[in-house]
Amino acid sequence: MKPHNQLSKVDTIIFDFDGTLFKGETFSLPIFQECLSILIDELHYNLEFPSDEKILSQFGKHSMDIYQTLLDRAPPDVINGFAECIENAEVKTLENGGGELYEGVPEVLSELKNRGYKLALCTNAREDYYEAVVKRFQLTKYFSLMYAAGQHNWKDKNWMISQIIKKLETEHFAVVGDRHHDIEAAKVNRGFSVGCAYGYGFGEVKKADFIIDDFRELRKLFI
């Protein structure tokens, strides 16, 4: 069966951000490496420097979960100091024009919107990062609704997706993301899932209804 037959009733597409729209390996990875270097080399905290793969594998999770995992359950004061370093650097870099979307993201989002799809954003990001991202990439022109976990007491994606489809009054939707919680949220809420194999899930998207290796492949599914 062709994808168009299965997805013909879909009127709403909900997107994850990091690893789906946003290329974190050229943005967050250097920032994490810098803050880890400060912690280990300058503050002499006893921690083995995590590999790039380990850092990238955390992207897309809630911020504090990332920090606790990378710092191996360090004391609260160490985690809070590391979090402050990361968060200040990320927001400052975005405000200075840093970071980039995956190739084709603006064009494909515009095409989908022009085709009449309702587009929504659903991210596990904290509030200040989310707000800086929205401003940096002028995302409000693409999306009818945007949800960030940091604005909603760190609710999970199952809950956020349920609220999005309720507010957009749809029963026919697809979730596009690179982590297992994106795929699970689509299934729990009875929607289709599109797994982004180019993201940071490292195989977590194998159970998605459809899998893409490049964001521009969404054209084959929805356009």
pLDDT, tens digit, for every residue of 140-177? 999 999 999 999 999 999 999 999 999 999 999 999 99
pLDDT at 76 over 70: yes
Give alpha helix (H) positions in the chain: 3-6, 28-37, 52-56, 63-70, 76-95, 105-114, 127-137, 157-167, 180-188, 218-222
Give 4's pLDDT tier (boundaries 50, 70, 90).
Answer: low
pLDDT digits (tens, 9 = 90+) for 165-221: 999 999 999 999 999 999 999 999 999 999 999 999 988 999 999 999 999 999 999
pLDDT digits (tens, 9 = 90+) for 55-75: 999 999 999 999 999 998 799
CA distance 23 to 214: 12
Biggest distance spanned by C-alpha atoms of the chain: 58
Domain spanning 3-23+100-222 has what CATH number? Answer: 3.40.50.1000
Encoded tokens for 223 = 């356009």
CA distance 28 to 92: 12
Cβ atoms of 14 and 173 within 8 Å: the answer is yes
pTM as predicted: 0.93
